[in-house]
Structure 1
């Protein structure tokens, strides 16, 4: 591009690349700068969850990501005596994808980078290191230095800094990075031609030296070992030391084809602020966490998903600038929960106390005796799910009508992720919900034509929100419902009764879903008009003519 973009992204890691793809799909002009001359190729994340896979689906790259994953990867938890004390094996598909997937991050990052070639309005510049950032009331300017030492400046409406835990932007803005760095370090060893070949992962809570090993795609095996305080980082390059660590894990360590080895620290930190004016922090620049729970990469992808639709709505004139205030409001609480989970799991599995390890083993034995509790652990029921109580959400009281019997444990959906079962379109094509119904704002109405419950003036505002009207019916009703539907209504069928059961468990029949799949509001059909008006306010929908980029 020969002119300044709408958004500047600093950092071509997974967060910056994902956000650039999300904005590219929404026709937002983006310049992405990266200090390195190429993508990072050393060992990092190895787990991608169902929420992040849904994002890969949203940006149209999931089919290219899948070959680099191990779906439904089971984790066995082992104590110091080699006994299995627990198992994590989630098999649900609530959001359309396996909850746990092993993956090779550099290969997935490459897919994300190549995906940007689809967009002439996304400019990627490697060898461009940010050295200064300034801003005014309506623009932010980034000065970057190229490999030849020259400096250039570009400005945009917003800047998203996603350049990692040592973020230059965060430091220049003098934003604190609160938390701790654990004394225990880890040594990562990646090996080609997997000498074990087993598909699962093992987390070894051995107080003498904690370890983990995972099977990765393409015949790669990873080991991670806790380093003792008196062991220097240089030991990572000592073959004798490395082979000694591996001697109890494989028959012949000296014959292994080691791809890479690297020492890393366990950080648990959150930035004091995620935003200063028109400059935002995302991913590791905003938060870092121990790797044990496998949520660092995934948390950054959630940041990108939250930011993508909001930035697009603002720069395209469909929403007021104040919408960006909801980014930190919504993301901070969930990030803090993920950091806490990761830190607690790290302390649980990598501690060097025999007493603490014994207490952990006793607790595991107790859990094993209670099937429901055991199933919750196995299904990752301990993982905090996104739930927004404030931001772009409209909480609704549970209706009190005799015709709607309500249990004490009625599920509330506002602020949570909407499920993604398989559905069928009017053309008979079956697929996951987002592929059939789209990825923008959607008003899902069970068994009713939504046009019967909204006024003409409200219908006219739906394009500003970017919303479509979707009627969900039992699949057997699909032809009839489609023939009778109002203008602009998409009718989809529920072939396996998944949505019928979902709505049956709730006192609402209308669900309004944001582009990041978070439920913004839920209501009865008769309340749709009033609820949409509240959603327009929460989403800061602009009522002026839409600007073009």
Structure 2
């Protein structure tokens, strides 16, 4: 196989497959190569969040993913005496989906792999190991173990935490590896049968017990320094771990048992010329936070639309620099939070555990509610990159309120309607890609001819949001090319969002991030700045 493609993705894990689906949608010629001969069949991640489900929605695969999830899965963090230290149960639908969901990763990986069959410009090759990458001014030449080559304009390495590509490029991977390993035990015919997850911060031996879809139960136990692979293969040892949890461990239908290591590391760079790192190749974190898989999906979403824009000639190569600019800071925060959670729940020092319990018992109702909402989870917020920060407008038509600016954050996804009044999630009503949303206004009234032409090149959608009651009138009066969306009202509706903000127009990127917000009259000038930040051609 001596082949040429636009983007070569190294690694057919969830990050590489998600990226390939997003590129395939955009008509980019993408090839995924995987050194293994089939998808990994053992579960690794067990939690998928609302941001990742929105990515699956964008990729057109969410309906196939949902059957392998447990929506709104509650977590109880308890101590050695089973006292509840914290309850995590966010019920928000801010981004259109449950914030916490249990899932079976191998089945979702299969959905992602099958999704590529939709695109004649996307392909996967298993049993293909990349052994060398040689870059020049026009692209990258990848050499496979069998001597064949692939010529690509860009390469994305998503081949896991031990990434040969990262090592080959000499990119640092700073952080720490915890001194003790863990064991994962997956059991069919769940003997517990409850839907929630429990994280046990027992100083005698920390553990997790997690309900998964399709009757699977996951247990994870911390191993001590004198325990390892040989113990994991010993039934007596494994049954001893499980004995405090079930009546008779010997009757369990154990699917698999595996040893894993706790890492907390971030690559020094996410870009090296035409080569990018994504997912575990760029960052790894302890499993307690449940954000390793989701962070990799965020990488794919951020990088995907930018690669597509550059490959299709819609943006200059400099746009790709913003991938690291935007993702590095947020994922560093996520690693730190996950590491802190891991230390709190897996520390076997009885005195430290007692201090943790004392602090938990003294939390105020407000602090407990914040934990329940998962307020400890850092939300992406970009200060730099493809984002334009505008000052608060000064107008006597606006109340003087000290409200945070939301450029660089993810725009919410309430239920809305299309122009015919059919209810659906906002992204389905507007369509995907670049979007300009204006409240109750025709956005074309505020856009110059050059700006309209630039938006047309990007395939951007101009969206007029009106109260549902106005739909019959707005639909008849709408300018050609305008997408009319009906707002359903209520606290989570779009009118409520605009009510709380001193803005009447929002520019949304293809990854649903707010590129800019402004008054309607400022839209043309602000959009010009956004297009400049996006290196639009």
2:363 matches 1:386: no
8 Å CA contact 1:393–1:535 kept in 2: the answer is yes
2:361 matches 1:365: yes
Distance 1:62 1:503 in 2: 28
Matches within 5 A, 1:426-445: 426-445=419-438
1:85 is aligned to 85
Work out which of the residue numbers 511, 514, 530 in structure 1 matches 2:525.
530
Write out per-residue CA displacement over residues 510-547 of structure 1, whole angstroms, 9 at most, x where no aligned residue. 110101111000000000010111111011000xxxxx
Q: Secondary structure at the match of 1:85?
A: strand
2:394 matches 1:400: yes
Q: Secondary structure at the match of 2:5?
A: coil
8 Å CA contact 1:103–1:216 kept in 2: the answer is yes
8 Å CA contact 1:36–1:126 kept in 2: the answer is yes
Write out per-residue CA displacement over residues 127-169 of structure 1, whole angstroms, 9 at most, x where no aligned residue. 0000000100121111112xxxx21111111000000001010
Matches within 5 A, 1:323-338: 323-338=319-334
Work out which of the residue numbers 428, 438, 457 in structure 1 matches 2:450.
457
8 Å CA contact 1:43–1:260 kept in 2: the answer is no
Offset of residue 487 of structure 1: 2.2
Work out which of the residue numbers 443, 463, 466 in structure 2 matches 1:470.
463
Distance 1:98 1:76 in 2: 17
2:33 is aligned to 33
1:546 is aligned to none
Distance 2:536 2:195 in 1: 48
8 Å CA contact 1:465–1:536 kept in 2: the answer is no
Q: Secondary structure at the match of 2:4?
A: coil
1:545 is aligned to none
Q: Secondary structure at the match of 2:82?
A: coil
Matches within 5 A, 1:128-277: 128-145=128-145, 150-277=146-273
Work out which of the residue numbers 529, 540, 543 in structure 1 matches 2:535.
540
Q: Secondary structure at the match of 1:5?
A: strand
2:52 is aligned to 52
Distance 1:159 1:153 in 2: 13
8 Å CA contact 2:139–2:153 kept in 1: the answer is yes
Distance 1:11 1:406 in 2: 52
Write out per-residue CA displacement over residues 5-55 of structure 1, whole angstroms, 9 at most, x where no aligned residue. 100000000000000000000000001100000001123100000000000
Write out per-residue CA displacement over residues 470-529 of structure 1, whole angstroms, 9 at most, x where no aligned residue. 011111011111222222111100013411111111111111010111100000000001
Which 4+ runs in 1 deviate beyond 3 A? none
Q: Which moved more, 1:37-46 or 1:398-407?
A: 398-407
Distance 2:3 2:237 in 1: 54
8 Å CA contact 1:185–1:227 kept in 2: the answer is yes
After superposition, the Cα gap between the structure-2 partners of 1:31 and 1:536, relative to the gap in structure 1 and judged at 3 Å, is same
8 Å CA contact 1:284–1:296 kept in 2: the answer is yes
Offset of residue 406 of structure 1: 3.0
Offset of residue 358 of structure 1: 1.3
8 Å CA contact 2:421–2:468 kept in 1: the answer is no
Offset of residue 339 of structure 1: 0.2
8 Å CA contact 1:133–1:143 kept in 2: the answer is yes
Q: Secondary structure at the match of 2:73?
A: coil
Q: Secondary structure at the match of 1:157?
A: strand
- Normalised to the residue count of structure 1, the TM-score between the two structures is 0.96
Work out which of the residue numbers 467, 477, 489 in structure 1 matches 2:482.
489
Distance 1:184 1:445 in 2: 54
Offset of residue 382 of structure 1: 0.7
Distance 1:458 1:232 in 2: 62
Aligned residues: 535
Work out which of the residue numbers 339, 345, 349 in structure 2 matches 1:343.
339
8 Å CA contact 1:91–1:98 kept in 2: the answer is yes
8 Å CA contact 2:78–2:199 kept in 1: the answer is yes
Offset of residue 458 of structure 1: 1.3
Q: Secondary structure at the match of 2:22?
A: helix
8 Å CA contact 1:269–1:289 kept in 2: the answer is yes
8 Å CA contact 1:132–1:142 kept in 2: the answer is yes
2:497 matches 1:506: no
8 Å CA contact 1:43–1:188 kept in 2: the answer is no
Matches within 5 A, 1:57-136: 57-136=57-136
Offset of residue 466 of structure 1: 2.8
8 Å CA contact 1:43–1:262 kept in 2: the answer is no
8 Å CA contact 1:464–1:541 kept in 2: the answer is no
Write out per-residue CA displacement over residues 293-327 of structure 1, whole angstroms, 9 at most, x where no aligned residue. 00000000000000110000000000001100100
8 Å CA contact 1:411–1:505 kept in 2: the answer is no
Offset of residue 2 of structure 1: 8.1
Distance 1:235 1:517 in 2: 47
Offset of residue 184 of structure 1: 2.2
Distance 2:329 2:439 in 1: 31
2:303 is aligned to 307
2:441 is aligned to 448
8 Å CA contact 2:2–2:149 kept in 1: the answer is no
Q: Secondary structure at the match of 1:151?
A: coil
Q: Secondary structure at the match of 2:409?
A: coil
Q: Which moved more, 1:253-262 or 1:474-483?
A: 474-483
Offset of residue 374 of structure 1: 1.4
Gaps of 5+ in 1: 543-549
Distance 1:424 1:328 in 2: 36
8 Å CA contact 1:7–1:156 kept in 2: the answer is yes
Distance 2:240 2:338 in 1: 28
Offset of residue 3 of structure 1: 4.8
1:547 is aligned to none
Q: Secondary structure at the match of 2:129?
A: strand
